C-alpha cells in the first residue's frame, strides 16, 4: 500500500510519474475516452487550430494537476490524506490521456512548456502540504474550481462544433467538481476570495502561453 512506502520510495515513485506525465504517449487511460462514440466533424482550419489550442490548455491543466497532487502527497501529514492525493492523481491520468489523444486527432501536439509547469506545480503542491492538511485539501478545492472555470469557458466556446472534444470536457468537468467537493468534505479550508483571484490571474498567464506554445 502507498502508506507503507518510505520517503525515498515516494520520491522515486514521483519521479516516475513526472517522466510518464511529460513523455508524449506514455500515459494510457484506464477508461475509454468519453468522445470515442461521438462524431469527429470536419472542421475549418481556424476552428481546428482554436479547439486544439483549448485542448492543449486542458492537457497542461492536467499536467499541473498531476504535479500538484504528487507534491501534496509528498508532504501530507496524515496517511489517509496522502493516499487520497495519490488516488486523485491516478484518476486524473485518464483526463491527461484523453486530451492528448484528441490533440493527436486534431493534428496538434501538447505544450512545450509542460516541464516548466509540472515542476512549478509540484513545488506549490509540496508547500501546500507543508502548510497542513486542511490547507492542502483547500488548495485542491481551489485549484479544481479554477480548472472547472476553464472547462466551462471552453465548452461555451466549442458549443456543438466538435462533439468529440465536448464529450471529453463534459466528463472532465464532472470529475473536477467531484474532486473539489470531496476535498472540502474531507476537511479542506475554503480559500478567501483574494487568494482565489490571485490564482485566477496566474491561471490566465498559463492559458495564454500554452494556447500556442
> Residues marked as binding?
62, 92, 95, 144, 176, 179
Q: Which residues of 43-63 are buried (b: 16+ CB within 10 A; e: fewer)?
A: beeeebbbbbbbbbbbbbbbb
Rounded to whole angstroms, the Cα distance separating 164 from 36 reads 7
H or E element, residue 180: helix 163-185
Residue ranges of the annotated binding site for Fe cation are 62, 92, 95, 144, 176, 179
H or E element, residue 121: helix 114-130
Rounded to whole angstroms, the Cα distance separating 145 from 73 reads 20
Amino acid at each position: 500500500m502507498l502508506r507503507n512506502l518510505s520517503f525515498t520510495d515516494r520520491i522515486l515513485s514521483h519521479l516516475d510519474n513526472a517522466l510518464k506525465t511529460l513523455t508524449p504517449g506514455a500515459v494510457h487511460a484506464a477508461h475509454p475516452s468519453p468522445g470515442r462514440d461521438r462524431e469527429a466533424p470536419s472542421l475549418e482550419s481556424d476552428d481546428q487550430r482554436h479547439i486544439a489550442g483549448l485542448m492543449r490548455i486542458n492537457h497542461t491543466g492536467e499536467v499541473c494537476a498531476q504535479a500538484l497532487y504528487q507534491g501534496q502527497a509528498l508532504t501530507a501529514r496524515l496517511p489517509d490524506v496522502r493516499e487520497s492525493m495519490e488516488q486523485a492523481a491516478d484518476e486524473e491520468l485518464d483526463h491527461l490521456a484523453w486530451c492528448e489523444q484528441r490533440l493527436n486527432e486534431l493534428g496538434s501536439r501538447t505544450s512545450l512548456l509542460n516541464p516548466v509547469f509540472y515542476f512549478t506545480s509540484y513545488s506549490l503542491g509540496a508547500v501546500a502540504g507543508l502548510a497542513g492538511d486542511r490547507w492542502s485539501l483547500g488548495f485542491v478545492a481551489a485549484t479544481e474550481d479554477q480548472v472547472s472555470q476553464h472547462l466551462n469557458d471552453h465548452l461555451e466556446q466549442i458549443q456543438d462544433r466538435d462533439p468529440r472534444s465536448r464529450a471529453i470536457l463534459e466528463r472532465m468537468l464532472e470529475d473536477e467538481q467531484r474532486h473539489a467537493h470531496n476535498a472540502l468534505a474531507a476537511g479542506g479550508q475554503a480559500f478567501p476570495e483574494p487568494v482565489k483571484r490571485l490564482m485566477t490571474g496566474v491561471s490566465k498567464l498559463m492559458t495564454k502561453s500554452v494556447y500556442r506554445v
